[in-house]
Structure 1
Amino acid sequence: MTMNTLRDLVTLVFVGRARATVELAGAALAMTTINIACKSVLVGLASAVNTLAGTAYGLGAYERVGETTQRALLVTTTYAALTCAVFATRGEEFLAATGQDAGVSREAGRFLRAATPGVLCYAWTQCTMTYLHSQGITRPQALGGVLAAIAHPILCYYFVWRWEIGVIGAALAWSASSAVCLATQVAYATVWRRMFRERDEALALKRDMCWPGWQLRRAISTEGLREYFALALPGVAMKMEWWASEMTVVMAGYLPNPEIALSALSIYGSTNAFVFDASIGLGVASLTRVTHELGAGNAKRARRAVAVSFQLIACVGVIASVGIIVARKDWANLFTSREEVRELVSELMIALAAYALFDCAGAVQAGVMRACGKQSLAAKIVVVAYWIIGIPLSLALAFGAHMGALGLVLGGLVATVVHTGALGFVIARRLDWDAEVVSARDRHALSTSHAAEAGYVPRSSSFALLESARANDLTRQYGAAV
């Protein structure tokens, strides 16, 4: 995730250094639109795989890992295709209709049209990423991100600087590097795993059974989709935090000197996303570990995993905040030579240092809530913190108190403090880990019941034996809970 956000930063650097301020603002507005309309929704839709497949893997129901992933592929591909069609045909018109500057909207529309292949790649990357995460596999995702991050500046150099294609070239470079990330993960899941198996044959067998072959009939079953959307839609709602953050960039387009405000807020937002994604690794690790432990019936180990994650993320947050303060005066020099933009970015970085401290903790908290299937509760907290408190406060400070861009980010800072505090209270005071073990097993039992009613039988006989043995073991340990 960090490497993906780094590519967004590199895109702004190349456009800002090579083109006019209006093109930097257009690229920033387009990337914000993609984040709100595509990335955040796709991440939310794919997040159901983490909960369902992670628990299934911990419980020993390995074939359901692949089944859930196939369902996610169908859902995310459909959504991505629809949004790409809108971007390709009506992107510029939509942005202009919202009151954005005509020149900025024109450049943003050009970026959106050229970025449509990258949106599809991003959708599929999220599915393969969550499929691998649910099995405790992280290396191919990291490798794919690094390779894409290496390829992206090279592609930007040729498309933006050497061939002077401008924002279209930046969008094509983003799409191409997104394809590199996807190809790396697919290659690992298909070719590499077969050529170089894990030394632990039992582990290799488990992971082999996670992909039982294409089962489209099961993927599009009514009960399966109902179960999936019951977690996926609240998962999308949890991303309203992301929408609120990106809305500050959109609202900057209505401030005086929108080119300056949009450019500065885009640098602020991309830096914020980069710092947040640096903590996502711990969020994913806690999510994967907790789902596995809940599926295996280990309440104490799940609680211990959460405690360790919070201790580590506290260190990450402090380091990130200190780094932002130290580098705040020179950071904007990477993106632009305009003095007005650099001064505004330096001012906003002070607020970002405080924001990052709480936002890093929120990354781990969100992972814990998804692991427990509490997406609906987490989404309600997001709505209150960001959309009832944060956004109105941002508008009041920016336009009512005439604080401009600083007012927009201060409203977001208050919102993230409320959000982090509320999630922390729920996790510390309201989660009963023994009850969460029972809930995780109940979700699996319901899925198994629907599959049996539909006449579905796992294709692998070894899967059936492992599942039966695992169920007997769990029954002996937790028979009273069943």
Structure 2
Amino acid sequence: MADSLQDPLIHDKQNGDEEISCNLQEGDESGSVVCSRYLGRRIANESKKIWAIAGPAIFSRMALYGTSIVSQAFVGHLGELELAAFAIATTVIVGFNFGLFLGMASALETICGQAFGVRQYHLLGLYMQRAWIVLFGVAILLLPMYIFATPILKILGQSDEIAELTGKLSIWLIPLHFAYVFYFPAQRFFQTQLKNMVIAWISAASFVLHVFLSWLFIFKLEMGLIGSAITLNLAWWMPTFGLILYATCGVCPRTWTGLSRDAFSDLWAFFKLSAASGVMLCLESWYYRILVLLTGNLPDSKVAIDSLSICMSINGFEMMIPLGFFAATGVRVANELGAGNGKGAKFAVIVSAITSTMIGLVFCLLIILLRGEFPLIFTSSTIIIDAVSKLSLLLGFTVLLNSIQPVLSGVAVGSGWQSYVAYINIGCYYVIGVPFGVMLCWMFKLGVLGIWTGMICGTAVQTIVLAFIVYRCDWDKAVNAKSQFHCLAAEAMDRVNKWSPEDSS
């Protein structure tokens, strides 16, 4: 037994994870040193597990999001109107659906992660198929946003020339809309079984090809905005086909057992969980899309939208790092809870949150120090460069806050709290942030600075509330009992049993 050992450390190895507790006498300095070493080793081990998921996830997300950055950089040199139309189309129209699909697919992190934790490997492929069916139905319902983008944007206060050009571009981006349906579930399928390098390499190849195709279609063939839409469609469909082919060609025999009619069963139950995940994440994604829409109602909207879209692109690109930790936290928490290890889930959250926050702080400082240089990537207009420089301080604070919040949302995804977090997001973002930003903009005449400041306040409140909930979570109780705010291993098993086909039980 461990208590018979003379070593002051007790090692409780459960499911491959080392739980450490120190039995030290007061003033026992040598024991304290030993405890510190083991704690350091445990942090290093957990960091390896997190980075094994987060590293490839960050790389692949940056590569795919980088396709929009590359396209925007090319389009930005076509003119201010083209840049504004591209910003509205990709940030508002496509971005609206991106957030919803990304969130709905995140439901797979809960159920696939927990199924993987209890070694029900065959269910991962079945869940991915259900996600494809549900997301495809949602994609059909959302098509009018692309088809009627011009009248929608005019109703929302955008100028006629921006709305009409954005509407033309949106039609060409419909294939991108359907790429999300298949890509995000396939990404989660590989991610929850820790096959992350597959995603990374396929995304990298797609990004390199996209840079060449953007130059070819936009400049060499002089296809302008339409060329940017074609290259974006190709940039997302290439990795989508790559992941699907890799999954279905015998490389994943335990997790992909072929197409199944069972994928059509319990679709409503899956839809409810994925809808909760979608609402939770898309409320966050839509939040800053609203910032762009509100900016379009200001005087000199082209300059305002152009400068803000550059800031949002930088924020979105850096956001791929905390979103990588969002994915890693969700998988680690789901795996640990599925295995009945509450302490392991808590420790994963702590390590992931600290790591992501430190990275966010570094980027915050870099943005503030390089505020006059990074706009040159997107434009040569001195007016827009000056406008971006004025917004850089707010951008830095946004980056810092967004480095913490996704990790806390990752806890929610891994634990199954999505519906609760959705309510928190509505209150913090749309009851506090947006009204406060509108008030600062129009009542106090602060313009886009006022809108953004108010919305940062909403993000800050939401981060504090989520941090408090995670802090108060009783992780030991979480694996044994049901509670309103507790993530449950028992619930994990219930989900697996509920959604398992009868012949596989």
Name the residue aligned to 1:336: 379
Contact in 2 for aligned 1:140/1:184 (Cα 8 Å): no
Show the counterpart of 1:198: none
Residues 246/433 of structure 1: CA separation in 2 closer, same or farther (3 Å cut) = farther
- Whole-angstrom CA distance in 2 between matches of 1:156 and 1:450: 44
**Alignment-derived partner of residue 24 in structure 2:** none
Secondary structure of the residue that 2:70 maps to in structure 1? helix
Q: Counterparts of 1:422 and 1:117 in 2: how far apart (Å)?
A: 38
- 8 Å Cα contact 2:72-2:83 kept in structure 1: yes
Contact 1:37 1:83 in 2 (8 A): no
The answer to whether residue 481 in structure 2 is matched with residue 432 in structure 1 is: no
SS at 2:157 equivalent: coil
2:182 matched residue in structure 1: 124
1:388-407 → structure 2 map (5 Å cutoff): 388-407=431-450
2:264 to 211, 216, 220: 220
Corresponding position of 2:122? 63
Rounded Cα–Cα distance in structure 2 between residues aligned with 1:431 and 1:327: 43
Deviation at 1:449, TM superposition (A): 4.7
CA deviation after TM superposition for structure 1 residue 135, in Å: 1.0
Q: Distance in 2 between matches of 1:301 and 1:325?
A: 37
Q: Show the counterpart of 1:457.
A: 503
**Cα distance, 1:394 vs structure 2:** 1.2
Q: Matched residue of 1:397: which SS?
A: helix
Question: What does the per-residue CA deviation read over 1:314-365, in whole Å, with 9 as the maximum and x for residues that have no partner?
Answer: 2211111111112211111111122221111111111111111111111111
Query: Are 1:7 and 2:67 counterparts?
Result: yes
**AA partner of residue 164 (structure 1):** E
Q: Show the counterpart of 1:100.
A: 158
Unpaired runs of 5+ in structure 2? 1-60, 482-487
Conserved? CA contact 1:390–1:411, under 8 Å:
yes
- Cα distance in 2 for partners of 1:183, 1:356 equals 32
- Counterpart of 1:135 in structure 2 is 193
State the alpha-carbon separation in 1 of the partners of residues 377 and 474 from structure 2: 44
Distance in 2, Cα, partners of 1:450 & 1:309: 30
- Cα deviation digits, residues 174-228 of structure 1 (max 9, x gap): 001111221332233234x63xxxxxxxxxxxx5221222123x2222xx22331
The one-letter code matched in structure 2 to 1:175 is N
**Deviations 1:61-114, CA, capped at 9 Å, x for gaps:** 122211111110001112223333541x32222222322111111111121111
Please list the CA deviations of residues 124-180 of structure 1 after superposition, one character each: whole Å capped at 9, or x if unmatched: 110100111121221122122222221222111111111111111111110011112
Alignment of 1:81-480 (within 5 A): 81-84=140-143, 86-87=145-146, 89-191=147-249, 194=251, 207-216=252-261, 218-221=262-265, 224-238=266-280, 239-436=282-479, 439-445=488-494, 447-449=496-498, 451=500, 456-458=502-504
Would you tell me which structure has more helix in proportion to its own residues?
1
Q: Distance in 2 between matches of 1:11 and 1:335?
A: 10
Aligned length: 438
Q: Given the two structures, how large is their TM-score scaled by the length of structure 1?
A: 0.87
Report SS of the residue matched to 2:226. Answer: helix
Name the residue aligned to 2:98.
39
Structure 1 residue 450, shift from structure 2 partner: 6.2
- Within 2, Cα distance between the matches of 1:433 and 1:242? 32
Name the residue aligned to 2:9.
none
Letter in 2 for 1:120: F
- Structure-2 change in CA distance of 1:322 and 1:433 (3 Å): farther
Separation in 1 of the partners of 2:181 and 2:213? 21
The answer to which of 207-216 and 77-86 deviates more is: 77-86
AA aligned opposite 1:167? L
| Percent identity for Structure 1 against Structure 2 | 27
1:302 to partner: Cα distance:
1.4
CA distance in 2, matches of 1:161, 1:275: 27
- Tell me the SS of whatever aligns to 2:222: coil
Give structure 1 stretches of 5+ with no counterpart: 195-206, 459-463, 465-482
Name 2:54's counterpart in structure 1: none
* Correspondence for 1:478: none
Q: Structure 2 vs 1, CA of residues 431 and 338 (structure 1 numbering), >3 Å: closer, same or farther?
A: farther
What CA distance in whole angstroms lies between the structure 2 residues aligned with 1:341 and 1:31? 19
Aligned partners of 1:143 and 1:184 also within 8 Å: no
Q: CA deviation at 1:437?
A: 5.9
Mark the CA change 1:140 to 1:380 in structure 2 (over 3 Å): closer, same or farther.
same
Query: Measured at CA, do residues 45 and 98 of structure 1 come closer, stay the same or move farther in structure 2, by a change above 3 Å?
Result: same
Q: 1:316 to 1:369 in 2, by over 3 A?
A: same
State how far apart, in whole Å, the 1-side matches of 2:258 and 2:103 are: 25
* Structure 1 letter corresponding to 2:209: A
State the Cα distance separating 1:451 from its structure 2 match: 4.9
Q: CA contact under 8 A between 2:113 and 2:334: conserved in structure 1?
A: yes
Between the aligned partners of 2:493 and 2:149, the Cα distance in structure 1 is 42
Question: Residue by residue, what CA displacement relative to the aligned partner does 1:398-444 show, whole Å, maximum 9, x if unpaired?
Answer: 22211111112111211111111111111111343442465233343
1:262 aligned partner, one-letter code: I
Instruction: Determine helix, strand or coil for the equivalent of 2:416.
Output: coil
**RMSD, matched Cα:** 1.8
- Secondary structure at the aligned position of 1:44 is classed as helix
Q: Give how far 1:447 is off.
A: 4.7
The amino acid of 1:33's aligned partner reads V
**Counterpart secondary structure, 2:397:** helix
Give the Cα–Cα distance (whole angstroms) in 2 for the partners of residues 154 and 93 of structure 1.
34
In 2, are the aligned partners of 1:294 and 1:437 still within 8 Å (CA)?
no
The 1:47–1:307 alpha-carbon spacing in structure 2 relative to 1, beyond 3 Å, is same
TM (norm. structure 2) is 0.83
CA contact (8 A) 1:295 1:440 kept: yes
**Equivalent residues of 1:6, 1:149 under 8 A apart:** yes
CA contact (8 A) 1:62 1:210 kept: yes
